[in-house]
A and B are shown apart, each in its own frame.
Chain A
Amino acid sequence: MQPDQNPELLRIENLHAWYGESHILHGLNLTLREGEVITLLGRNGSGRTTTLKAILGLVSKRTGSIKIHGTEIINMPTHRIAHVGKLGYCPEERGIFASLNVDENLELPPVVAKGGLSVDEIYSMFPNLKERRKSQGSKLSGGEQQMLAIARILRTGATLLLLDEITEGLAPVILKSLGNVIRKLRERGFTIILVEQNFRFAAPLADRHYVIEHGQVVEQIDAADLEAKKEQLNRHLSV
């Protein structure tokens, strides 16, 4: 596949976002084609999570333009965005519903498009979860919660996935299989935005990396140029 020929899926222009009084994103620009996998890199607090939340309308105020498949969503209420953008979101800190059991968590997000994975397929992908189907969300181990958080958006048929720090708290062995899952999704034509702290995990998966600092994209590096720009990247990511 040649993602760079594919039609444009997401275009963000001059995005500003606020939490209450505090202005977090300062004119962020970003475009994404169907089938691409990109990462958002940056230090703690640089605004990566906020970018995802702003796409979903989960900030108190946002301005600028966000188009998915050409539809402007900047003024759309949150609950419609997932349907319009065929979008699935895996939040930072997992967002497992403590009062629901594993099955209920899995079946909670409504289907937004055809072609999602079936529950059985999902359980075969994450066998640990299958064992704990009737456990309450709050009783899962950290890693189990993380897996469930990813699993549940695969059911909805979303083709644009926003994944925030999905590797956090996972053992290396799970990281590996998670890497494989992402690779498979990519082959199936999913479009993915990864927010990652764990660059070693993300680097081999992505087509392009965006470096965010103070709510703006300060660097954009294609996978191919990664070696060449390693220096630059390190400068941005550590002091």
Chain B
Amino acid sequence: DLSDDKVKIGVLSDMSGVYKSLEGPGAVIAAKMAIEDFGGSVMGKPIEVISADHQNKPDIGASTAREWIDAKEVDMITALDNSSVALSVQGLAKDKKIITMNTGAGSTALTEEQCSPYGIHYVYDTHALPVGTATAMVKNGGKKWFFITADYAFGHSLRDNTGAVVESMGGEVVGNVNAPLSTNDFSSYLLQAQSSGADVIGLANAGQDTVNAIKQANQFRIVQSGQKLAGMLVFLTDVHSMGLDIAQGLQFTTAFVWNQNDETKAWSNRFNERHGAMPTMVQAGVYSAVTNYLNAVKETGTDDTDTVRAKLGEMTLNDMFVKGGKIAPNGSMLHDMYLVEVKKPSESKGEWDLLNVISKIPADQAYISMADTKCSLVN
């Protein structure tokens, strides 16, 4: 049976800031599509969506989530595209016994040090990202790295994990500079990176920050002067807004490529019609997460948190977004990732035809194994 006679899903996302275009309103659309495709109701009871802007502020995120849980009968919270916000909401949801299915945040702390029995990390994490990208770059001779890091949980985590990968491959981290979230002038940081003598400038940031940094590197002719840029977290929309002229050749890791097969294409085109842009991996991830949550509710016949969470842990996830995905006890959703490269302008056959898949990174390489996890729920 269902609490309050309905299932309510909360989409808590950045609706106005740096991450707006990669998750934001698109995530709400994806959630609604999931509900529609599910049939609009479960066990004859309505499914509702509620959404809000966390403004990238963990306190706002947490207090919104608190009110959703206390006063608005929300059963599951998704999106959470900012690691600080995700950590605070997941922490709160743990106390309040509510499932969070974070699709947007990256920090591995969510499934490691601060893992929660009700927190699911769905699309990617800062361990999965460098495995493909950094490995490939170091292999191609990029031994010395300099990081420009977004100065909060996600950036730090991405930098540390990438640095570890680089060093494990015999590379070296020669420097780092932290830039505040939502910096609009990276020139000073870029010049510092340039003068460090590094082979690779690792951008441990995301969204608009990455776009700005890459564009400005182009203005200052940094790549032309012989250094490589490594976008550690790049979304489809970022490539789209930079344009292929600037972005071509950039390699990065992603969980989803919209035009990979007919199934993804079909869904993505439907999404594009409603949203006006092709889905990013996290938007597609919201669709998948909501769908699977509803499946679990339907199969167990309840929205009781423990029951649903247990069910999710047993299921093998198969849909247009994920094939053979498994949700581990620490909350990490284990699935394959892809190393992709941005096409040359000449290769592109359309506005959104931007990426070539170079290789697949199997789930067991991408994600921290249950043997190594620091999550207290596992060991």
Direct contact of A and B (CB under 8 A): no
Which B residues are within 8 Å of any A CB, using their own CB? Answer: none
